Structure 1
């Protein structure tokens, strides 16, 4: 075969396929959004068994002229692991079943009150056209002096944008709450982290989904969810859960431990160091020797699977848009040391996140 650019034809064609796959990557998001909007996971779940192609298009009320398009979308989603496909495609006997990924799209309504996690809200946020469009400004952002991609696209930082757009603040809060549902599953594997604590402050805890999971697992632990006044102002707590509005950049309420779940990746190193110093002050008052509990991503390309690394690196680019970042173990060590902490432990927690215990 011929050659060009110092490569033989097979290498060039492989390169072409890789470029095209990345070029059309947005179709993964859009197809997933379509499946979520149509409630396909709910349809299969309520069906009680794999649903045939004919049954699916009938339930979706797809016009006959477009049923073949649904088959192509489902083939794409199946190839990407969202649904499982079985049966004979040629005779329209193929059937679709749920996978671990699509089981996370089953709505609360379909689960009939059960507390199974549903990640549809975070997909809804990530696929929102306005929030996606900012990445069209990457070139202008990277070559200019404006600090964040949000400011280039919308004229203000992300937190200002959310404050001025209550509908997106609501979308954001629902997305973060849906993600926090999975914490409950992971608590069983790290109960020792919370044992022996009397008080905990969940900094940036949003609407309290994570805190409620911890309260359920550790009913004697008193937890304060500490977030911006506009986030927690209308929320009510319980006997061992309360909500307090404030500014983590100024001070953090005193406690045995401070929890930072998916908070520090929002900020630059300099800002993170200041937040950690405030956490250190919170758990060190009155001679207390508490700790800080960080739930966040640690990039580890050498040990992680390709899918796990790809997820983490995608998250890093998302954070780039708000002047945040996902960090390697070495970068976490730098933050912890610069904030004045003496010791820490890192261990896997759940999914693509790890848990870091930090001690003054």
Structure 2
């Protein structure tokens, strides 16, 4: 047809070697959910805890005995442990015997139950929530959600209730309890590490409001203990505040951060904003700005949240997985530095600083 642009795109035919590699990659992508499920199985069986209790080293035979599993399952357990060791969940310890000896890695250490060390949190609730049918059903129906003009997040669309909220508690109390435990671990883990690495940030602060802390005020109590001179307030929904026993150390206030935030020199938002869309984040941050004094008087907002960064290596894939998880669960998202800058500006702040990367997260100081 006259005048119609001709396509100059050339389809590159993969080589035989590339096609064979692609098939293997397709197998891996199609079956990688089995790594999650075998990890879930291992934690349900108590394997990380058993290895810890056995002195940090155990063979599959040791685990069969320690966990009272049928001896006939030994060859199958060996196959499960081999996959998890290859995936980095467990370590293979050097040993002269034919039987592999497994040890804990930092990852499986997070899944050991009963460790009394300060700061240790068993991450099993997060694993069990992320691998629950209520989560998996969302991924199974994701294409259907895209085809529909749904106004809510896939979780709300599929289940008719909102994650972490009373509607879910009424529908499925056991899942709600588990997901809230997962949220507490997700939000409050590594508080002791943060207080060591970011101690300078908290020096000289007279008052701090921790917004939407979820749970028992773990972070706020840790800050109050580390800085006794500081007046620490926790703001959360009234139904959440009622669950926290008064401790005489932290001031607990029931309220709504979308309406107002208790005044303080510093407001802290830790793993909060990624639950919300940009418009809601701007509303929350605008209320934070109203609650703090000028920069000259020490006013600032501390934000700890995921920062998407392609330069972070394998951590970037984790950040992107968390981004899709937020899309599925809460209609929120993870943000890169440009995204963060945009919502800070829209909320009326004059300046900000990315203080430091902290695992998959970053810590911002945002100034009025």
Give the TM-score normalised by structure 2: 0.90
| Cα deviation, residue 163, structure 1 | 4.3
Is 1:57 matched up with 2:64? yes
Partner Cα separation in structure 2 for residue 57 and residue 137 of structure 1:
38
RMSD between superposed Cα atoms in Å: 2.2
Is 1:149 matched up with 2:148? no
Partner Cα separation in structure 1 for residue 262 and residue 168 of structure 2:
25
- Matched with 1:137 is 141
Q: Contact between 1:273 and 1:335, CA under 8 Å: does it hold in 2?
A: yes
Is 1:102 matched up with 2:84? no
- Matched with 1:201 is 209
Q: Contact between 2:205 and 2:298, CA under 8 Å: does it hold in 1?
A: no
| Cα deviation, residue 259, structure 1 | 0.8
| Cα deviation, residue 270, structure 1 | 0.6
Farther off after superposition, 111-120 or 58-67: 111-120
Is 1:344 matched up with 2:349? no
| Cα deviation, residue 279, structure 1 | 0.6
| Cα deviation, residue 87, structure 1 | 5.0
Which runs of 5 or more structure 2 residues have no equivalent in the other structure?
A: 1-10
Q: Which among 307, 312, 316 is matched to residue 319 of structure 2?
A: 312
Q: Which among 165, 170, 176 is matched to residue 169 of structure 1?
A: 176
Partner Cα separation in structure 2 for residue 163 and residue 267 of structure 1:
20
Q: Which among 91, 116, 122 is matched to residue 118 of structure 1?
A: 122
Give the TM-score normalised by structure 1: 0.92
| Cα deviation, residue 50, structure 1 | 1.1
Is 1:85 matched up with 2:92? yes
Q: Which among 290, 296, 299 is matched to residue 308 of structure 2?
A: 299
Partner Cα separation in structure 2 for residue 71 and residue 87 of structure 1:
16
Q: Contact between 1:224 and 1:241, CA under 8 Å: does it hold in 2?
A: yes
Change (3 A) 1:57 1:146: same
Q: Which among 229, 236, 243 is matched to residue 245 of structure 2?
A: 236
1:72-115 deviations in whole A, cap 9, x for unaligned? 110011011110113579x65211101111111111x2x24754
Partner Cα separation in structure 1 for residue 180 and residue 156 of structure 2:
21
| Cα deviation, residue 231, structure 1 | 1.5
| Cα deviation, residue 135, structure 1 | 1.7
Q: Contact between 1:224 and 1:243, CA under 8 Å: does it hold in 2?
A: yes
| Cα deviation, residue 175, structure 1 | 1.2
Change (3 A) 1:270 1:356: same
1:189-241 deviations in whole A, cap 9, x for unaligned? 11111111121111110121222222232222221111112212121233331
Farther off after superposition, 38-47 or 164-173: 164-173
- Matched with 1:218 is 227
Q: How many residues align?
A: 352
Change (3 A) 1:349 1:117: farther
